[in-house]
Chains A and B, each alone.
Chain A
Amino acid sequence: MVSLFNFIMLSLVLLGIGIYGISTRRNAIRMLMSVELILNAASINFVAFTAYLYPDIFTGWLFVLTIIAIAGAEAAIGMALFLSAFRIYNSAELDKLHLLRESKDEEEEEG
């Protein structure tokens, strides 16, 4: 018999892997993917609690719908930021993006 505890442990492991990814990787896209892992861990918790404890109430489903919408928004904004940063720096490593500068020309003038 699979209990609620198993689903909570699965979501805990997923949350841990996501936090590990955010704190160790310096690539912007991989950090976004780690955020997706964390959001999915939260969604598994919501759906499991709804299925086991309150099967007649849809509040958990509603939260998961909200999470999916927010994850879509976050991915779109993140990818747009990544594309515009890649155009300037030609790299996705966050350590190299240390200036809030618009164009490459100013950097060349100073350097």
Chain B
Amino acid sequence: MIPYINEITFYSLAAIVIILAILVIESKKIMHAALYLGALLVTIGEIYFVLHAEFLGVIQFVVYAGGITIVMLFALMMATPEDEQLRFRWRIQNLVLVLIVIFLSVSFFATYTSISVSDIPLFTSTVLNAFASYVFTQYSVLILILTILLFSVLLSSTHLAGRREE
């Protein structure tokens, strides 16, 4: 299957990914870096969409861009010294950021809707059924291992971050 992508969309997505990655490393305030990381993860989710992996794109949006970024932002809000915290001000950078988001959304949906709707296997039962039967029959041991891993992470992170009574 050929991915739903033309060159202009690919190069704009790739440029946005690279610029956001550099900003994650180089931005001065750590809160800005966390927000740039969230935008980067959303853009990578869009790359999954054009590569025929719609299910993974949704998982990327919900778990990665939603959950992990929020965990990072909460930890930063709890543990950043007062003078480094973000305060919202209207600046020209905010406007540029809004324009970039609008451009990105329009280009993405233009690519995605230029093909006929019947070609899109988005949440058709065949793809999800095949993937689910693949995961839960051949690789069910992997899911069990991931469950144990996440449960132990839950317990240990509660133990590590909890305040000890002395």
**Interface, chain A (partner B; CB < 8 A):** 1-2, 6-7, 10, 13-14, 17-18, 20-21, 24-25, 27, 29-30, 32-34, 36-37, 40, 43-44, 47-48, 50-52, 55, 58, 61-62, 64-66, 68-73, 75-77, 79-84, 86-87, 90, 92
Contact = CB atoms under 8 A, between A and B. Distances in A.
Given A55-B52, A58-B131, A86-B79, A80 B161 contact: yes
Contact of A6 (B10, B139, B160): B10
B15 to A, nearest CB: 10
A51 B7 contact: no
Contacts of A17: 18, 21-22, 25
B47 interface: yes
Contacts of B149: 69-70, 73
Given A6-B10, A75-B68, A14 B18 contact: yes
9 contacts: A17-B25, A37-B24, A47-B47, A61-B55, A70-B149, A72-B153, A75-B72, A79-B161, A86-B79
A13 B150 contact: no
Interface of A: prevailing SS: helix
Interface residues of B, number: 58
Nearest to B8: A2
Nearest to B69: A75
Interface string B34-61: 1001001100100110011101100110
With most chain B CB atoms within 10 A of its CB, the pick from A1, A52, A66, A76 is A76
Contact of A72 (B7, B37, B40, B150): B150
Contacts of B163: 87
Contact of B150 (A7, A30, A69, A81): A69
- Of all A-B residue pairs in the complex, the 5 with the closest CB atoms, nearest first, are A80-B160, A80-B157, A79-B75, A80-B161, A21-B25
Contacts of A2: 3, 5-7, 10
For B1, B3, B156, the residue with the greatest tally of chain A CB atoms inside 10 Å of its CB is: B3
Contacts of A64: 53, 56
Contacts of A34: 24-25
B24 A13 contact: no
Contacts of B47: 7, 10, 44, 47
